[in-house]
Structure 1
Amino acid sequence: MLTYVFTSILAALLPLLFYQRIYYPFLWVDLKYYLKLRMYRKSLQARMQQGIITYLDCFLLQANRNPNKPFIIFENQMLTYQDVDLRSNQFANAFREAPLKQGNIVALLMCNEPDFICVWLGLSKLGCEVAFLNTNIKAKSLLHCIESCGAKTLVVGLDHLVKVVLPDLQKDNINVWVVHHSPVSEGFISLLDKVENMSTENKCGPLKVDIMSNFLFIFTSGTTGFPKAARVGHLKAIMSMAFFQMCGATSDDIIYITLPLYHMSASLLGIGGCIQLGATCVLKKKFSASQFWKDCVKYNVTVVQYIGELCRYLVNHTENSHRVWLAAGSGLRSDVWKAFAKRFRTITIREGYGLTEASIGFLNYTDEVGPIGRASYFNKLSVPFELLRYDTQTYEPFRTSSGRCVRAQIGDAGILVAPVTVLNPFLGYAGNKIQSEKKLIKDVFVMGDVYFNTGDLLMQDNRNFLYFRDRIGDTFRWKGENVSTMEVSEVLCFLNFIQEANVYGVTVPGYEGRVGMAAIVLNQGRTLHGPKLYDHLVETLPAFAWPWFLRIQTSLDVTETFKQQKGKLVQEGFNPEITKDHLYFLDITQKDYLLLNVSLYQDIVHGKIKL
């Protein structure tokens, strides 16, 4: 009888399992990730009930649990969790006598080093809100950034003192503390001499913190003007700390962070991820491709964090004796991903997506190459979002005659938006109400609803994978069609003589929209092969997406987080009198790229040569 029941159940289950494997092959992995995320959130709620509700609280928890565990390894220094706790107390006590207090805003301009973390945690113990300043900032932008976030105190590392124009800051009553043992000149306040005379005891006392209030200011890249100070709340910060844990890392891992600490990826996901796990962080002052794998071997690194094009530089600098098993980050292009995975077969890649301004984020927890995450039923329960159809002229969400937005179809790119809720708030940009309001879309599906506009174009395929397509502003329109710069870049990099490509659109007199142009770096020892490139474009891209102009460079301009910079390239266009780089023009009749001289340029801009 039991045998009959068992075989009957099995016979009923087998077709269901077969159906699931064919039509829902990722069901179990989706469910597993969903349950893992639920468990994290439950543990987070349990800790909050115990009074552990902030980034700082999580650090103090680890410092009490594992005081002697190595926390930061930097060059020849090793600081335990207790060492960082005690030194941050000294910073807090020094600032307390300044006097700084809860609610004060302090700008921080420092390189990657242990004292960046100690200063940050020390100020957090006072209840101050810290504004991370980009170390590549120019002097003229520094005052704008400080004013926009409302800081009245600046802590600056000695390396960046040259950017500080003291009279401008003094006019606004801004105190400048230099991370040095003695005053560098009149008007500056030395910090380290005071810190070293302070007690290591925490004299700040417990703080009452609203988890929905602001914790940090992190500045956007400012590609369209001055950087914007994005408010990052306590809730966002503590949720970000789960990144490495969700990727599968543990407290036994040694995590290598080369990204700048003023960037959310390094400070919240990176350092925060180490704190969440109770793991060890190997901190690098600056990324070095030639030193990367040597450091991984030297410090027994097991997990590395990447962003943007960083992995491209690592493919050609290898070390077989490393112990790295996980590379986690965001912004990894498919062509680089494939090359990296082929070269380092033992390293698992976990690609994610996130934003500084909001809590929307994804993680590709599968081994599928290319996606940034999944849009499964379970994931949309945890992270609600929508992809909206958009107007191809204005890049604004398309609205019907009734005024409502429309969801993008499967396979089509759409604007990623997320509902603004208690768990996904948007605190806005400090000192920039107009830009803050522009990020919100109202009455999307029903009257009164509010969504955060990421400004990113994503695509969901028929298997529920999500792919990053482009950022609004990078996509350009030519011949009535939208061109994805990312897609064209990937196509170009399939050719063996092209190492890197940065695609953008440039204006041509007499034409609407922008025509495609690409700044490319050739592989060492290789030359541009125009006919081969032309044949490749014919096979892979529609004619409207072809780059009509090429600019040969020895290296591409990238941001400190390895994102390609396009602004200057767009401004310079294809004028051979502006740049010393070799420029080429696509001659359809010859099926080749020809060297672009002044005479040819004049023929193009005066309409003698048609595009």
Structure 2
Amino acid sequence: SVLLLHLLLLLLITPLFLDHFFSPVAYMQTNYLIVDLFLERVKTQPHKPFIRFKEETFTYQDADVHSNKAARAFLQSGAVREGDTVALFLANEPLFPWLWLGLVKIGCSAAFLNYNIRSKSLLHCFSCSGAKTLVAGEELQDAVEEVLPSLLEQQVTVFILTDRCKIAGVQSFQDKMKQASSEPLSKELRSNLTLQSPAAYIYTSGTTGLPKAVAVSHAKLWGYCLIMALTGVTSEDVVYNSLPLYHSAGFLGLMAGIERGMTVVLRSKFSASQFWDDCRKYDVTVVQYIGEIVRYLCNQPQKPNDRNHKVRLALGNGLRADVWKDFTRRFGNIEVREFYGATEGNLAMLNYSGKMGAVGRDYFLHKWLFPYALIKFDIEKGEPVRDSSGFCVEVAKGEPGLMVTKILASAPFSGYAGDLGQTEKKKLRDVFTKGDVYFNTGDLLRIDKDNFMYFQDRTGDTFRWKGENVATNEVADVVSVADSIEEANVYGVEVPGHEGRIGMAAVNLRDGQKFDSTAVFHQVEHFLPSYARPRFIRIQGSMDVTGTFKYQKVKLVKEGFNPNEIKDPLYILDEKEKNYIPLTPDIFDSILAGKIKI
């Protein structure tokens, strides 16, 4: 019976279960979307708190009123029409759900821009969404002004979330919302939407290149909701969400809040020092995490009230087993539910049993209905290993392998908006039989003797730091612009005690030039978000390349940043000095001892 229960729970998070559970025929006919369920919540529990943010509380009815005003402000501006996509460029705040709900109410979708991106990356992300309207938070006005000439040249309508705006070519938006009617909008305005319509565009680096826009359908939003529903969350719970709403993990919490009919506590940005105080303040029972968040919490000084809270469940991904153990030992008997999936992926897994460190479990029936496999991968060549017949080879139990998932009608891979080339790169063909097609997750996983699955590492030209995917090619492009740099090879290196990998750039200098550390610092500070700035720089005489002129990274990654073993000059980014300073053995030892935070 336990095995059957496990099988059922695994099936619950698959697309097939979505088909059965949500009666697709009826829903396709009635276009039953998350926004429809939200409106039902407004009727049945109008005065229940929906969003709590700082000292403010907004009920479901408040959310309906504000989103109605946002929808009418968009329509009355003349810039937004049915079916359009509007780019949202703002941090976590109540206006985020108001704007998204308002857009869906009028048959539109939103592109969620990472509020850390700037310049070239900002323009790239905006363009690939197909949006012609941008709405930005007041605190991001400088970032918008930097790219404003390009936006205006493309005839983009730009709004800033203020009551007044004196920037030529930019309009204020909050004053328009305040003046707009809060009356309900006709369902006819969204009659163009189906479960397959894009509800949002969420960006991912995948494993290579610049960020790519993934069209998240309204059907997939139901899948987001299921992940939390399967962990036993109810309408009585209060969920704490300090993850960015532009991430699928953060948006998951918001959607699940509507589906469960519960209260969502929003935090503008994660704060390790304020986390538990917030949980106590808002009577939080469920918290969302990424592995880095939990590690930060465990690294905080111990307090007598560490276990004084009502949190019973933590849901997220990327949590290492050792940090998991420290977390529950220190903060109490909190159930941890780790899940695995990708924004653009066609398969999700949930560690519903609480096996420490696992992301799910390998079962025959699950695998039969939605085929996936762990295959041998050549890290140096950056490609799957194939046998004499040209087919991929599954790894043995206990051996790390590349996770690939079969693309089926019941498990589709829609790819990246406006980027057929990158979409095709994520497909592996002729994996086990001629003509089959699999989605390449870019992740290395391992299955143990008890069939539990564990995340091991990422492949390709992306590494993960502070919960963000960093595209090495993008960082290399920025570093290489500095006058003293001829070329840059960017990669991620492990730092003991830290989750993920931190950025490092091996560079060689232009003929006759010395390393201009200050100029390089100002270059990365201006054009890269903090998590993407290389913390270490290694000066090389020449670059090692493969026979096809690709930079060799495996050896560099293994060598890391130890000045005791590397003869090349090494530098470390110093935020206080606003410079790259020499990385000495003493500094290296202080990093390992945790005395220097990076």
Q: TM-score range by the shorter chain?
A: 0.7 to 0.9
Does structure 1 retain, via aligned residues, the 8 Å contact 2:370–2:411? no
CA contact (8 A) 2:207 2:462 kept: no
Corresponding residue for residue 257 of structure 1: 241
Compared CA separation, residues 594 and 373, structure 1 to 2 (3 A):
closer
When residues 296 and 581 of structure 1 are mapped into structure 2, their CA distance, relative to the original with a 3 A threshold, is: farther
Structure 1 window deviating more from structure 2 (206-215 vs 412-421): it is 206-215
Equivalents in 1 of 2:164, 2:28: separation in Å? 44
Going from structure 1 to structure 2, the CA distance change for 1:39 and 1:204 (only over 3 Å counts) comes to same
1:181 counterpart = 2:168: no
CA contact (8 A) 2:379 2:459 kept: no
Residue 271 of structure 2 is aligned to residue 304 of structure 1: no
Deviation (angstroms), 1:130: 0.9
Match of 1:313 in 2: 296
Any idea what SS the aligned residue of 1:423 has? coil
1:44 aligned residue: 22
| TM-score normalised to structure 1 length | 0.75
Note the 1:9-88 alignment, pairs <5 A: 27=3, 29-31=5-7, 33-34=9-10, 42-45=20-23, 48=27, 51=30, 53-88=32-67
Secondary structure of the residue aligned to 1:309 is helix
Deviations 1:268-323 (A, max 9, x none): x2101111111110111111111110111111000000013100111235533210
d(CA) in 1 for partners of 2:129 and 2:63?
A: 27
Q: Which runs of 5+ in 2 are unaligned?
A: 464-490, 509-527, 540-560, 573-580, 592-598
Q: Decide whether the 8 Å contact of 1:34 with 1:382 is kept in 2.
A: no
Q: Who is 1:239 aligned against?
A: 223
Is it true that 1:172 corresponds to 2:151 in the alignment?
Answer: no
1:266 to 235, 241, 250: 250
| 3-state SS in 1 of match to 2:384 | coil
CA–CA distance in structure 2, aligned partners of residues 581 and 301 of structure 1: 45
* Partner Cα distance (2:158, 2:536) in 1: 36
Matched residue, 2:213: 229
Q: Distance in 2 between matches of 1:190 and 1:134?
A: 21
Give the total of aligned pairs. Answer: 498
Q: Aligned runs of 1:164-563 on 2, under 5 Å?
A: 164=144, 165-206=147-188, 207-221=191-205, 225-267=209-251, 269-315=252-298, 316=300, 318=303, 319-380=306-367, 383-473=370-460, 492-493=496-497, 502=501
Check if 1:91 corresponds to 2:74: no
Q: Does the CA contact (< 8 Å) of 1:258 and 1:283 recur in 2?
A: yes
For residues 224-246 of structure 1, give each alpha carbon's deviation from its aligned partner in whole angstroms, at most 9, with x where no partner exists.
Answer: 54322222222222211112111
For the pair 1:152 / 2:132, whether they are aligned, the reply is yes
* Corresponding residue SS for 1:130: strand
Query: Is 1:569 matched with 2:536?
Result: yes
| Residues 342-393 of structure 1, C-alpha deviations (whole Å, 9 max, x = no match) | 1123111111111011231111111321111111234335643211122343
Identity of counterpart residues, as a percentage? 41
How much has 1:209 moved relative to structure 2?
2.1
More deviation, 233-242/256-265: 233-242
CA apart distance, 1:473: 3.3
**Aligned-CA RMSD value:** 3.2
The CA deviation string for residues 550-590 of structure 1, in whole angstroms up to 9 with x for no partner, is xxxxxxxxx99x9x7685537666544533364449xxxxx
Is this contact kept in 2: 1:72–1:280, CA < 8 A?
yes
SS at match of 1:89: helix
Larger radius of gyration: 1
Structure 1 letter corresponding to 2:458: R
1:132 to 99, 107, 112: 112
| Secondary structure at 1:448 match in 2 | coil
Q: Which letter maps to 1:77?
A: E
Distance of aligned partners of 1:475 and 1:187 in 2 relative to their CA distance in 1, 3 Å threshold: closer
Gap change, CA 1:501 and 1:429, over 3 Å in 2: closer
How far apart, CA to CA, are the structure 1 residues paired with 2:225 and 2:435?
32
1:45 is matched by which residue type in structure 2? S
Which amino acid in the other structure matches residue 470 of structure 1? Answer: D
Cα distance in 2 for residues equivalent to 1:130 and 1:258: 20
Q: Quick one: distance in 2 between partners of 1:69 and 1:465?
A: 40
Contact kept, 8 Å, 1:216 with 1:233, in 2: the verdict is yes
**SS of equivalent to 2:337:** strand
**Structure 1 stretch 357-366 or stretch 53-62: which is displaced more?**
53-62
Mapped partners of 1:594, 1:95: distance in 2:
53
- What CA distance in whole angstroms lies between the structure 1 residues aligned with 2:206 and 2:20? 37
Residue 469 of structure 1 contacts residue 487 of structure 1 at CA under 8 Å; is this kept in 2? no
Confirm or deny: 8 A CA contact 1:108 1:156 kept in the other structure.
Answer: yes
> How far, CA to CA, are the matches of 2:368 and 2:386 in structure 1?
25
C-alpha contact 1:351 1:364 (8 A) present in aligned 2:
yes
- What is the aligned partner in structure 2 of residue 15 from structure 1? none
